[in-house]
């Protein structure tokens, strides 16, 4: 008599996983691109980091101390999770090709707006965590 109940619970678990997990991937994918994608690079003058961090909602309610913006096509960034990248350990993938990356780092002692950021531009390989074949996390240890 216990067996049908276990089968039902197992089927219910898989159904919920199929319904809920794709939404989680999609949400993290959207957050990844909101926080780390800017292509083509916005033409906003000398205060790129100050403006972009504010526009992308990373200065309120508490500012994000460090963030990087990747200047490459979404297609090429997505490829890092497939043929354009290679395993890098701990579920991460490193791109085969470099991307233009601008890293913004908070300067100053206050974590309240107005926030000021320094800017570092470099061409480098990126390291991401993938879920469902899409990037969902930018590895900050590579900044």
**What residue ranges do the domains of the chain occupy?**
27-138
For the stretch 71-77, contacts whose Cβ atoms lie closer than 8 Å and that sit 24 or more positions apart, written own/partner, are 71/38, 71/39, 71/40, 71/41, 71/99, 71/100, 71/101, 71/102, 72/39, 72/99, 72/100, 73/39, 74/33, 74/37, 74/39, 77/37, 77/126, 77/128, 77/135
Domain 27-138 maps to which CATH number in 3.40.50.880, 2.50.20.10, 3.10.130.10, 1.10.357.10?
A: 3.10.130.10
Per-residue pLDDT of the chain (143 residues; tens, 9 = 90+): 444 555 545 444 443 333 333 333 446 999 999 999 999 898 887 889 999 999 999 988 888 999 999 999 999 999 999 999 999 998 899 999 999 999 999 987 766 667 789 999 999 999 999 999 999 999 976 65
**pTM exceeds cut of 0.85:** no
């Amino acid at each position: 008599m216990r067996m049908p109940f276990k089968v039902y619970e197992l089927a219910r678990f898989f159904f919920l996983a199929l319904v809920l997990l794709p939404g989680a991937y999609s949400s993290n994918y959207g957050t990844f691109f909101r926080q780390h994608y800017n292509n083509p690079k916005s033409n906003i003058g000398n205060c790129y980091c100050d403006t972009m961090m504010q526009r992308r909602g990373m200065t309120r309610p508490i500012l994000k101390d460090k963030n990087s913006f990747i200047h490459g096509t979404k297609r090429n960034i997505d490829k890092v999770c497939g043929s354009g990248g290679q395993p890098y350990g701990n579920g991460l993938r490193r791109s085969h090709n470099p991307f233009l990356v601008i890293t913004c780092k908070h300067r100053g002692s206050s974590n309240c707006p107005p926030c000021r950021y320094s800017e570092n531009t470099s061409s480098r390989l990126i390291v991401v965590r993938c879920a469902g074949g899409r990037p969902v996390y930018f590895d900050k240890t590579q900044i």
